[in-house]
Amino acid sequence: MPVLAAKATITAAQNVLAEDKSVGKQLREIAKDSPTMKLAAEKYARRIAIKQHLLLKLYEPLAKWAGISKSYFESDFAVDMAEKIADIPDEDLTSPSPSVAVPAMLGLGYSLDEPTLKEMYLNLLATATDGRRGDSAHPSFAEIIRQLSGREARLLSDCLRQKNVAIVQLKRKDSAVSEGGGFTVVQNHILPLANPDNNELVEEVSGAMWVDNWMRLGLVTARYDEWFVQENRYEWAEERPEILRHRQVHDSDTVKIEVQRGLLHATDFGQRFEAAISVPTSTPTSTPRRP
């Protein structure tokens, strides 16, 4: 599949856009009373426009092959990607590896109505277009995004950024039928999910399935023979709606629902995936938010 070399396309873009008087009109309007700011705005707007043109040329063959709509590709795609690569020096812009770009563009075409997945694909393409970071865009990453739902992907990113997250498992112990410490697992992989608006604990019925999916993909491990030593890292567990419900149903003189502490850990592969499909963010909160 033909993909134009980045440096040659930059030169062509500079020639095409050299006399474009409409570039950065809004920025120039804001800065019109300051000659210094006006010049800076013009230079920045011209740089963005050149990179928009570059991206259209660079990705046009892939977009056609992936079936991405022409209206999105020629408008929003160029703007979205130009912003993401604006800080990449021109000499470091490079043609992305087809093994990364082709599946990413194909996935993007199916994710335009899912903001989180769309953002992941765009960030992956930006990483692959940066000669300084291109090797970080592993060919498997686009396939991983394809196997995530939008709500799941938001929670995954939060967990991967934290690297280690407190997680618990619910165990049922029945003294009437079990001896020697035996138990039955009644619910796996409970995370400290909270509503971001009021910090109220909320339940996600698909949460355990999502964690199993992340483990299958090699992004995390979930272990219940390891845990944080700090007691306050698990204070939320006793108030979880899942735990309260199971105890209301099962607790008796002989049956007890107990909390097994554990640790959700981002693997090295998972951390590389998160770095490739996200932009730098501030330090994450200690509690995963509701997806």
Cα–Cα distance, 28 to 83 (Å, whole number): 18
pLDDT of residue 252: 78
Looking at the DSSP bridge assignments, the partners of residue 174 are: 255
Per-residue b or e along 59-77, where b marks 16 or more CB atoms closer than 10 Å to that residue's CB: bbbbbeebebeeeebeeeb
In the block, residue with structure tokens 């770009």: 101
| pLDDT band with cut points at 50, 70 and 90 for residue 51 | low
Q: Write out the two tokens for 25.
A: 């009109």
| pLDDT tens column, 142-189 | 999 999 999 999 999 999 999 999 999 999 887 766 566 678 888 999
Residue 187's alpha-carbon distances to 21, 184, 201, 233, in angstroms, are 62, 9, 17, 19
Domain-by-domain residue ranges, the chain? 6-146, 162-276
| pLDDT band with cut points at 50, 70 and 90 for residue 190 | very high
| pLDDT band with cut points at 50, 70 and 90 for residue 63 | low
Q: State what percent of residues in the chain have pLDDT above 90.
A: 36
| pLDDT band with cut points at 50, 70 and 90 for residue 71 | low
Q: What is the per-residue DSSP string for the chain?
A: -----HHHHHHHHHHHHTT-TTTTHHHHHHTTT-HHHHHHHHHHHHHHHHHHHHHHHHHHHHHHHHT--HHHIIIIIHHHHHHHTTTS-GGGB-PPPHHHHHHHHHHHHT-TT-HHHHHHHHHHHHHHHBTTTGGGS-TTHHHHHHT--HHHHHHHHHHHHHSEEEEEEEEEEETTT--SS--EEEEEEE---B-TTT--B---TTHHHHHHHHHHTTSEEEESS---S-GGGGGGGGG-HHHHHHHHHH-SSSEEEEEEEEEEEE-HHHHHHHHHSS---PPPPSSPBP-
In the block, residue with structure tokens 């903001």: 115
pLDDT of residue 7: 36
Cα–Cα distance, 103 to 44 (Å, whole number): 31
pLDDT of residue 286: 46
pLDDT at 68 over 50: yes
| pLDDT tens column, 217-264 | 999 999 999 999 998 999 999 889 888 888 888 777 778 888 999 999
Mean pLDDT along residues 95-118: 87
| pLDDT band with cut points at 50, 70 and 90 for residue 27 | very low
pLDDT of residue 150: 92
pLDDT of residue 282: 38
Q: Write out the two tokens for 198.
A: 């009021």
Cα–Cα distance, 94 to 73 (Å, whole number): 19
pLDDT of residue 19: 35
pLDDT of residue 200: 84
pLDDT of residue 254: 78
Q: What is the pTM of this model?
A: 0.74
Looking at the DSSP bridge assignments, the partners of residue 223 are: 263
pLDDT of residue 130: 87
pLDDT at 287 over 80: no
